[in-house]
Amino acid sequence: MRKFSFFFLIFILVNNLIAQKLHIKNYTSDDGLPSAQVWCSLQDSNGYIWFGTSNGLVKYNGQEFVTYKVSDGLVSSVVLALLEDDGDIWITTDNGISRYNGENFTNYALYDSLNFDIVWCVAKFQDCLWFGTKRRGLFKFDPDKVGEKNNGFVNYSEKDGLPLTSIFSLAADNKYMWIANSQEGLYRYDGKDFVDYTDKSGLENKSLTNLLISNSTLWVGTESNGLFKYDLKKLSAKVGRAKKVINYFPNDYIYSSTAKEKRLFLGTRGNGFIYYKNRPMRYTTDNGLINNLVYSILIDKENSIWLSTNKGISKILSHKFLGYLEDKSVLSACEYKGAIWLGTFENGLIRLQGDKITTFSTKNGLLSNNQISALTVFNNELWIGTFGGLNSYNGKNFKQYLEKDGFNEVPILTLLPVGNSLWIGTVNSFWKYQPHKLANKFTLFTAEDGLTNTYFQSISQDNNRIWLGTPGGAFCYDPLRSGKKFIKLSADDGLSANCVSAIFKDNNGTLWFGTPNGLNKYEPDKAEAKKKFAVYTTENGLSDNNIISINQTGKYLWIGTCNGLNKFDGEKVIKVYNKKSGLIGNEFATSNSLFLDTKNHMWLCTYDGVTEYIPENDVPNDILPPVYIEKFNMNDLLITDRKRLVFEHYRNTAKFSYIGLSFKDEADMRYKYKLEGYDNEWSEVTEKTEVRYTNLNNGNYTFRVLARNGDGYWSETPAELSFVILPPFWETWWFIGFSAIGFLALIFAGYRYRISHIKREKERLQRIVNERTTELRGKNSDLSEALANIKRLKGLLPICASCKKIRDDKGYWNQIEVYIMQHSEADFSHSLCPECAKKLYPGIKLDKK
C-alpha cells in the first residue's frame, strides 16, 4: 500500500526555496462554485467532497459542482460547518441546522432558542451531536428524542456550569469534549461537569479560534498568540497545563486545523497554510495558493489537501513535481557545489541554494545573459555555454574564453566532459578543449575529419566514441578509426529524420536518438543495412513526435518533447505528464533540458520555467476509485425512484450518467461499461461519463460500469443498475394464449360453419337431385311412352296401297305424316323429289347432286 509520508518529503526537502510552486489546482466560480467564500469541507463515506459556501451547499464529484440552496430545502444558503453521521450530512448555517439523507433535507429550527441563530460548529460526543452557536451557547441533539419537547435539543448554559454564550469550536474524543470561546477561553466536558481550562491551565489568550484532537494531543489555536497544546495523557487532575507552541508563528490567527499521521496542518487568517512537524513550513499565494485566508482544511482519502479560502478552493496534490522560475525560459541545468544552476534564455545564470536564489549576469563576468544553453562540471569548475561564448566558474570568479585563448565561436549549444577533455558544440563548429596541453588547447574538427555538417545541438558519449546530433544527421567520432574520424548516420540508415536533436545512452548501453519525427532506438546489428533504427512515435503513445531531450531514472527513460514529458519503458509510453499533471511548462527547450542531480532528482527545463521531479514521491495512486451511476433516464425522463424499475415497451431509450471518484487527476479518469441483455462484451475504455441506448427490446437488463484512475487502478466492483422493459400487450403470454384460444375457436367455428354449410349444400343438392330425379322420371316416362310409340311404329302398320294412308289404332285412316306426328315428336317439311318434279314440272332443270 502507498504511504502518506511520501508527500511530505516534498515539504521537508524544498520548503525554503523562494517562490517554489507546489502542484496546486485552484477552483473558483469559473469552475462552478456558487461563491468564492468557502467556509468548510468534508469527504463523505462514499467519496464525494462537500463544501459549505456563502451561497449554498456544494457537492463535488470531480467533474462538476452541484449546489443546494434554500430552494432545494436547505435552511439557509450560508453553510458554516459539516459533519457526517450514519450516512447523513449535518449542515450548520447562519440560520439553524439542516440534515441531508441523500435525497431530502430535514431542517431543525422548531426550538425557538435555536431558530435564527448562527451555528458555528458541530461535533459528536457520547453518541449525540453537539452544536456551538454564536449567541445561544451549546446544544445537544439526541436523535432518540426527536418529536419530544424541543424536538430533541437540549441547551447548556451558565446554570449547567458553562458560562459561554458564543462557541466557536468543538473537539471530542472518547472521554471529553472541549469547548472554545472566542472571548472567554477553554472548557472541558466529561458528560457531567464543565471544567474551566483557561487561566489555570496556562493559556495566555482567551480568544480561542480552533480546536483539534490528534494523537492524544489537544491543539488550541488563538487569534494572535499562535498555537497551544495539551498532552491529554497527562490530564489526570481536573486541570492540566498547556504547553505553548509559538516559536514559529506567534502572531498568527489560527483559523483551521487538521492532522494525519502525526502531522499537523494549519490554516491562518491572512498568512496562508502551515505544515507542522517538528518545525513549520508555510505556503502562501507565492507558492500558488488562491488566497492566504484558510477557513478549513481537508485531507482526502488520496492524501490531497483541500484548502477552503476566502477566494475559492486550493487543492494541493500529493505529487512529485515542484516548479521554480515561473514564466522564465530555462534552457539548461547543472549541479555544482551543492547548488542547482539554471541557464535561462534572457535572465542570466541562476543559482538555487538553500533559501536563496542568486542571479549572475554580465556584471559578474558572464559573456552574455542570453541563451545559456549548456552547463556542465569539468575540472571542478562550472562551465557555461552562452550566446556570447564560453565561461567557467570556480565558485568565486568567472573566466571568459576568447579568441586570444584559441576559441572564438558563438553561440555555444552543448558541452560534454569526457576524461581530461571538454567537447564543445556550437552553431558553426565542433571543438575539443584539453586544459592539460601546454599549447593549442582548443582543437577544431572540420570536413577533413569527416564532419560535413554544422549546428551541433546535442552530444553524447558511447565508450570511447562521441556522438553528435546535427540538422543533417548523427555523426560518430571514433578516435581509433583510421582516416576520417567521423562516420554519419542519416535517414538513409533508417533514422526517422535527418535532424537529430537529442542523443542519449541508457543504462543498458543502447543509444537513443531524438528527431522531429519520433524517438529512434539504434540497433546496429540488424541484418537489414538500411533499417538500423526502431522508431517510436505518437502511434506508440508519445505525446509529440518532436523529441527535444532524453534522460533516465531507474529503468525508465524520460522523453522531453514540444508537448509534454513521457515516461517510457523502452517499448511503450507508461504515462504522459504536462501542466495539468504538475509540470510548470509543456515545451522543453534544448537537448540539455533534462538534468539528473546527485539526489536522483531530475530537473525539467521548459520555456515556462523549471520543474523538479522527485522519483521517490512518484508513487502510484493505488486507491481503487468508487464508481456510481448518478443519473438514469428513460426516454429523457429522469428516474429518481430506483426501487422498482419496470417500464412499458414504448420506454425503450435508456441513458446512464456515471462517475468515478478520484481527485488526484480528475481528467485522467477512464471508464468501461456493459449493458447485459444487449452487449456481449465490455465497451472500449472511454473518458465519457454517459452512454445512451436506443430501441431496446423488451427484456431484463443490467447496466454495469467500472472506473479507472490516472495510474491504471480499476474499481473493485462495478456500479450496477437493473431494469425491465415489458413487452407490448400483443407479445404477452396471456395475449398470445388468449389469441391462440381465440384462433382455435375461430378455426373450430369455421370448421363447424363449413360442416354446416356442406350439410346445407348437400341437402340443397339432394333437393335438386330429387327434383331432377323426379323431372327425369317424368321425362323418362315420356321417353318410355315415346319409345313405346316408336316401337309401335316398328310394328306391322296397315297402309293403303293406293292413297298410302295409314290406319291408326282406332281404325281411322290418316295421312302417314299425321300418324307419325301423333306418335312421335317429329315435324315435317314439304318438298318435291326429283321424279315428282319431272312429272309435275317437265321443263325444270335439276341439280344432279
pLDDT digits 0-9 by tens, 87-115:
999 999 999 999 999 999 999 864 545 55
Cβ(295)–Cβ(40) under 8 Å?
yes
Q: Do 447 and 527 sit in the same domain of this protein?
A: yes
Cβ(344)–Cβ(330) under 8 Å?
yes
Residue 394 in any domain: the answer is yes
Q: Is 648 exposed, middle or buried (0-12, 13-18, 19+ CB in 10 A)?
A: middle
Centre a 10 Å sphere on the Cβ of residue 757 and count the other Cβ atoms it contains.
11
Q: Which residue has the cell 499521521?
A: 261
CA gap 266, 254 in Å, rounded: 7
User: Is 471 strand, coil or helix?
Assistant: coil
Q: Taking residues 330-337, report their average pLDDT.
A: 98
CATH of the domain at 665: 2.60.40.10
Q: Do 494 and 580 sit in the same domain of this protein?
A: yes
Does position 240 have pLDDT exceeding 70, yes or no? Answer: no
Q: Domain range spanning residue 680? A: 627-731
> Which three three-digit cell numbers place residue 776?
327425369
Q: Which residue has the cell 546489428?
A: 525
Does position 793 have pLDDT exceeding 60, yes or no? Answer: no
Which phi and psi (to 5°) does residue 424 adopt? -130, 120
Q: Do 412 and 331 sit in the same domain of this protein?
A: yes
> Which three three-digit cell numbers place residue 38?
468557502
Q: Do 445 and 542 sit in the same domain of this protein?
A: yes
Q: Quick: pLDDT tens for 707-743.
A: 999 999 999 999 999 999 999 877 777 777 887 888 8
Residue 113 in any domain: the answer is no
Q: Do 563 and 605 sit in the same domain of this protein?
A: yes
Residue 343 in any domain: the answer is yes
Amino acid at 712: G
Q: Which runs of consecutive H residues, i.e. helices, occur in 188-313?
A: none
Q: Looking at the DSSP assignment, which residues form a beta bridge with residue 98?
A: 91, 107
In the chain, the percentage of residues whose pLDDT exceeds 90 is 58
Q: Please tell me the predicted confidence (pLDDT) of residue 199.
A: 67
Residue 418 in any domain: the answer is yes
- Its sign, for the CA torsion 134, 137, 143, 149, is negative
Q: Which residue has the cell 537513443?
A: 512
CA gap 523, 599 in Å, rounded: 32
pTM of the model: 0.79
Q: Looking at the DSSP assignment, which residues form a beta bridge with residue 421?
A: 418
Residue 467 in any domain: the answer is yes
Residue 1 in any domain: the answer is no
E strands, 448-563, where? 458-462, 465-470, 473-477, 486-489, 502-505, 511-515, 518-522, 533-536, 547-553, 556-561
Q: Do 580 and 698 sit in the same domain of this protein?
A: no
Q: Please tell me the predicted confidence (pLDDT) of residue 536.
A: 96
Q: Please tell me the predicted confidence (pLDDT) of residue 755.
A: 87
Q: Do 353 and 466 sit in the same domain of this protein?
A: yes
Q: Please tell me the predicted confidence (pLDDT) of residue 63.
A: 94
Residue 33 in any domain: the answer is no
Q: Is 430 exposed, middle or buried (0-12, 13-18, 19+ CB in 10 A)?
A: buried
pLDDT band for 16, please (50, 70, 90 cuts). very low
Residue of 24, 75, 30 whose CA lies nearest to 52: 75
Question: How far, CA to CA in Å, does 560 sit from each of 458, 577, 604?
Answer: 14, 10, 8
Question: How far, CA to CA in Å, does 284 sit from each of 13, 270, 521?
Answer: 17, 9, 45
* Average of per-residue pLDDT values in the chain: 87
Q: Quick: pLDDT tens for 114-148.
A: 555 899 999 999 999 999 999 888 999 987 777 67
Residue 240 in any domain: the answer is no
Domain boundary among 713, 731, 749: 731
**Which has the higher per-residue pLDDT, 788 or 639?**
639
Residue of 31, 27, 79 whose CA lies nearest to 53: 79
Domain boundary among 549, 584, 617: 617
Q: Quick: pLDDT tens for 162-208.
A: 888 889 999 999 999 999 987 888 899 999 999 888 766 667 677 88
Q: Do 434 and 495 sit in the same domain of this protein?
A: yes
Q: Is 432 exposed, middle or buried (0-12, 13-18, 19+ CB in 10 A)?
A: middle
Cβ(614)–Cβ(13) under 8 Å?
yes
Cis peptide before 411 (omega within 30 of 0): yes
Does position 704 have pLDDT exceeding 80, yes or no? Answer: yes
CATH of the domain at 608: 2.130.10.10
Q: Do 420 and 531 sit in the same domain of this protein?
A: yes
Please tell me the total count of domains within the chain: 3
Q: Do 414 and 500 sit in the same domain of this protein?
A: yes
Q: What is the DSSP letter of 22?
A: P
Cβ(579)–Cβ(321) under 8 Å?
no
CA gap 834, 802 in Å, rounded: 21
Q: Taking residues 508-534, report their average pLDDT.
A: 87
Q: Do 608 and 637 sit in the same domain of this protein?
A: no
pLDDT band for 795, please (50, 70, 90 cuts). low
Question: How far, CA to CA in Å, does 56 sit from each of 25, 30, 68, 95, 317?
Answer: 22, 16, 6, 13, 26
Domain boundary among 617, 652, 677: 617
Q: Do 591 and 649 sit in the same domain of this protein?
A: no
Q: Taking residues 151-170, report their average pLDDT.
A: 88
Question: How far, CA to CA in Å, does 816 sit from each of 591, 808, 813, 828?
Answer: 148, 10, 9, 11
CA gap 584, 600 in Å, rounded: 19
Of the spans 66-75, 160-169, 616-625, which averages the highest pLDDT? 66-75
Cβ(625)–Cβ(660) under 8 Å?
yes
- Its sign, for the CA torsion 835, 836, 841, 847, is negative
